[in-house]
Amino acid sequence: MSSMKNHFLIIIVFFLIFFSQEVISKQNRIALVIGNSAYKDAPLKNPSNDAKAMAKELSKHGFQVDSLINATQRQMEEAIRKFGKQLNQKNSVGLFYFAGHGLQVNNRNFLVPVDAKIASEADVQYESVDAGRILGQMELAENNLNMMILDACRNNPFTRSFRSSTRGLAKMHAPNGSVILYATSPGDVAADGDGNNGLFTEKLLKFINKKGLKIEDVFKQTAIEVSHASNKKQVPYFEGVILGNFYFTDSIVFNNNTAKENKDTINRINIGQEDKFWDTVTKDDSKEMYQAYVEQYPNGNYKSLALIKINQKSLKNIQGKEPIIEQTQLTGEQIKKLIVGNTLKGNHKRKNFDFEMYIGAGGDFKEKRSNSRDRFGTWHINSHSEFCFKFIDHEKTYCRIIEPTSNNKYGIIKNESTIVREFEVIQGNKLSWF
C-alpha cells in the first residue's frame, strides 16, 4: 500500500484525447519567457540563462517570443496582459515559461519578480504575480493549445518570516486544452543546478529539439532524465488535457470537431479514467487514496462516497455510534436565504480587489469594485446548488459553490478547493464607495 501511495504522489497525470484530425499548416505560436536571477536577498545562478536558452530554442521552432530577464512586477504584469491578448489569435498556440523563485501561500502559487519586497506571507500577493493569472488568460482565450512551464520550485528564501513551512509549489488545475509542467512534483523543490542551466531546463531543451516527439513524450522523457540525474530527488510533474497532437519540431495536429463535441468526448474518456482510478482507490481503501481521488476529481461521480470514507477514517467511532458527517457546502435554499436582498462585501483573492455585490430578488445584481467601474448582471442557483452569475457585458457564466469559512464569512469557491472570493453578508442594499 505504501509503494502505491508513493507512486501516486509522483505519477504523471496526463490525458491525450484523440479525435478525427485536421492538420493546421499555419499556426500562431506565441511564447512569453521570463527568467529572474538578480534577487537582492536570494540571487539565483541559472534562471536568466535558462530563459535565454529557452527563448532561443522556441524561436527556432516558430514561436514569436517575448522574453524578459530579471523582470519587475510591473514588467511581468504588462507582459502577461499582452500575452493574453495574443492568445486570442486564430489557430494560436501559447507557451508561458518562468524560471526563478516561486512560492505557495494558502494553496496559491506566486511568481516572484526581482523587485519584490517580501517581509512576511502577507506581502506575497502584493509583491508577486499570481500564477493563476496566466491560467485565467489561457482559459478565456479558448485557443487550440496552451502550455505553462514552471521552473520555479526552488527553496523559499523567506521561510524564516513565514508562519508555514510549505515547500515548493501547489498543484493547479489546467483548463481544457492546456497543460502545466512543473520542474518537480507539487510540494517538492528543484535545484538551481551547477552548470549553465538548471537540471530541469537543460533536459527539457534537449527533448524539445528532438524530432518526432509529441508534447507528452517531450515532457515524459524530460521527467525520466531529471529523475535519474537527481537520484529521484527531483521528479517533474505535468497534467492537462490536449485536444490533438502537438510537435515542437513539426506541424501541429488538431481536431475539427465543434466545441460541444470535444467537451462530450473529453467527458466520456475522463469518466473511463475516473472509474479505473476509483477501482484502485477502493481496493487500497486508505484515507490517503480517498483524499487523492477528491483532489484529482473535485466534481467526480464518487466524490460523496469518498468524503464519507474520509470522515469515517478521520473520526473514531465512540460506543458504536456512526461518525457525524459535517456539511460544508450550502444548499440552494440556504444560499438564497443568505444572499437575496443583501449585500456581499469582501475581497477577490485571485485578482486582489475589494467588492460589494447587491443580490436582487428578481435574479439581478449590481457590483461595485475598488479597482474598476460598476458592473451589472444576472444570477441563479443551478441544480448542483451552485451560485451562478453572469455579467451583462461578458458571455461567460460562472458557477461556484458557497461554503462558510470563518468569523461569519463565506467563500465563493472554484473547483471545491480554491477560494476565489471571500465575503461577509450585510443586510439590505448597502452599496457604498470605497
Largest Cα–Cα separation, the chain? 69
pLDDT band of residue 158 (cuts 50, 70, 90) is low
Q: Which of 78, 108, 265, 94 is nearest to 173 (CA)?
A: 108
Q: What is the pLDDT of residue 298?
A: 74
Higher pLDDT, 315 or 144: 144
Provide mean pLDDT across the span 315-344: 67
Poorest-pLDDT segment among 189-193, 303-307, 349-353, 426-430: 189-193
Judge whether 151 and 248 are in contact, CB under 8 Å: no
- pLDDT tens digits, residue range 16-49? 443 334 333 346 899 999 999 999 888 888 899 9
Q: Is the torsion defined by CA of 78, 83, 85, 86 positive or negative?
A: positive
Higher pLDDT, 132 or 256: 132
The DSSP symbol for 247 reads: B
- pLDDT tens digits, residue range 346-390? 999 888 889 999 999 889 999 999 888 888 999 999 988 889 999
Provide mean pLDDT across the span 398-412: 83
- Read off the pTM: 0.55
- The separation between CA 27 and the C-alpha centre of its own chain, rounded to angstroms, equals 25
Q: What is the pLDDT of residue 140?
A: 85
pLDDT exceeds cutoff 70 at 1: no
Q: Which domains does the chain have, with CATH numbers?
A: 11-256 (3.40.50.1460), 264-311 (no CATH), 332-426 (2.40.128.640)
pLDDT exceeds cutoff 50 at 232: yes
Q: What is the pLDDT of residue 406?
A: 67
Gap between the Cα atoms of 128 and 111, Å rounded: 6
Q: What is the pLDDT of residue 417?
A: 62
pLDDT band of residue 144 (cuts 50, 70, 90) is confident
Cα first-last separation, the chain: 55
- pLDDT tens digits, residue range 181-205? 988 765 455 555 567 888 899 999 9
Provide mean pLDDT across the span 67-90: 93
The DSSP symbol for 214 reads: B
- What Cα–Cα distance (Å) separates residue 37 from each residue in 33, 40, 110, 153, 314? 13, 9, 16, 14, 44
Provide mean pLDDT across the span 144-148: 89
pLDDT exceeds cutoff 70 at 411: yes
Helices (H) and strands (E) in the chain, counts: 11, 20
3-state secondary structure of 423: strand
Phi, psi of 120 (to 5 degrees): -160, 175
Judge whether 49 and 66 are in contact, CB under 8 Å: no
pLDDT exceeds cutoff 50 at 323: no
Q: What is the pLDDT of residue 13?
A: 43
Q: What is the pLDDT of residue 61?
A: 92
Q: What is the pLDDT of residue 256?
A: 46
Q: What is the pLDDT of residue 309?
A: 73
